[in-house]
Amino acid sequence: MKKVVLIPDSFKGTMSSAEICFIMEKAIRTYYPEAQIISIPVADGGEGSVDCFLSAVGGKKIDVTVKGPYFEDMTSFYGVLPDGTAIIEMAACAGLPLVEDKKSATKTTTYGVGQLIAHAAESGCKRIIVGLGGSATNDGGTGAAAALGVRFLNTSGKVFIPTGLTLSDIAHVDISGLFPVLNGVDLITMCDIDNPLCGQNGAACVFAPQKGADPATVTLLDAGLSNLARVVKADLGADILEMPGAGAAGGMGGGMVAFFGSQLQMGIETVLDTVGFDALLRDTNIVFSGEGKIDAQSLRGKVVIGVAHRTKKAGIPLAAIVGDIGDNMESAYEAGVNGIFSINRVAIPFSESKVRCKSDLALTMDNLMRFIKHIKSV
């Protein structure tokens, strides 16, 4: 075996994708010490996305002073890849971990995300990827838009920067002042959920409770996002109310489309395109991917299935190393997965298995590599 590609997602709550790549590579080298091993750790757009891209293809991290979740000054960052593509994770300045125990989806802002986009564009980046995930916000991306020159006016004609609490005060949106530096910039939004903006499956109802919202606040936030959608449709002609993915990151998915004409793209497709995955597959003997649990949700475009579509087309075998395997996974094989292997070696609760997950992954990979080595020698 001369060339192997590793491209796992993280196992949520247990191992990062970078840790998984490290463990996989160590097991492979035990049996194939001379193999070329290419590691592509994957993140879903949330915390850690910049580091994953930089680890996969190289580049540099840029530190920038921007506004944090409560409009406070903070040092944030974005990544720049060797080809000049900027990678921004909105969690770097509007993420839930930044607010700690001071969660308030009514007051938090994405303003700093807009500042990161502006800095990247002003630095000459013509392709900017914005990862949505892990947000502390519910402002529909209006904060980011305001930082980039979009004006929001209330019924009195006063310009203000909306937050979740004041989305219902928006009467008009004016994008005539959008920063000219964005002209000619290809703005892509990584979005791994298909929730609409509003309603029972929308941003507020599904995600705001984890951002500190009680039932009454959820209702207020949902109404605010609904108003935003109404005004955006009237003033900008963009219909984001039922758009799949519009509800990502407190409605920022919809905001990225409405204010900047960005395209929403599944995270794994963005990763595969950005790292040049199809070219990397040339002369590859086998690909290892994985995620915490492969199930029906995975079939909607998560990491393993996204990789499988590419490996199947290239005729390269794909092994999925996972924590758990859901029922009725035959469709995964049809998509291009050649084998699914669970690292859960003993039937124990997750609270116990997560403690031993790294050693279980190592043992599972060792077991699999022993088998592959034997088959190769037969």
Amino acid letter for position 36: Q
Per-residue pLDDT at 377 exceeds 80: no
CATH 3.90.1510.10 maps onto the chain at 49-267
- Token code pair at residue 126: 């013509």
Q: How many CA atoms lie within 13 A of 48 on its CB side?
A: 14
Cα–Cα distance between 118 and 130 in angstroms, integer? 12
How much is the mean pLDDT over the chain? 93
Beta bridge partners of 37: 4
Non-local CB neighbours of 269 within 8 Å, separated by 6+ positions: 301, 306
Per-residue pLDDT at 378 exceeds 60: no
Beta bridge partners of 135: 95
- Token code pair at residue 226: 């609904």
CATH 3.40.50.10350 maps onto the chain at 3-40+276-377
Total-model pTM: 0.88
Alpha helix (H) ranges present in the chain? Answer: 17-31, 49-57, 91-94, 96-99, 111-122, 142-147, 203-207, 215-236, 248-260, 267-274, 277-280, 303-314, 330-335, 350-353, 357-377
What pLDDT sits at residue 301? Answer: 64
Question: 3-40+276-377 belongs to which homologous superfamily?
Answer: Glycerate kinase; domain 1 (3.40.50.10350)
pLDDT band at residue 360 using 50, 70 and 90 as cut-offs: very high
Residue-wise pLDDT for 145-178, tens only, equals 999 999 999 999 999 999 999 999 999 999 999 9
Residue-wise pLDDT for 239-284, tens only, equals 999 999 999 999 999 999 999 999 999 888 899 999 999 999 999 9
Of the two residues 106 and 292, the one the predictor is more confident about is 106
Region 49-267: CATH code: 3.90.1510.10
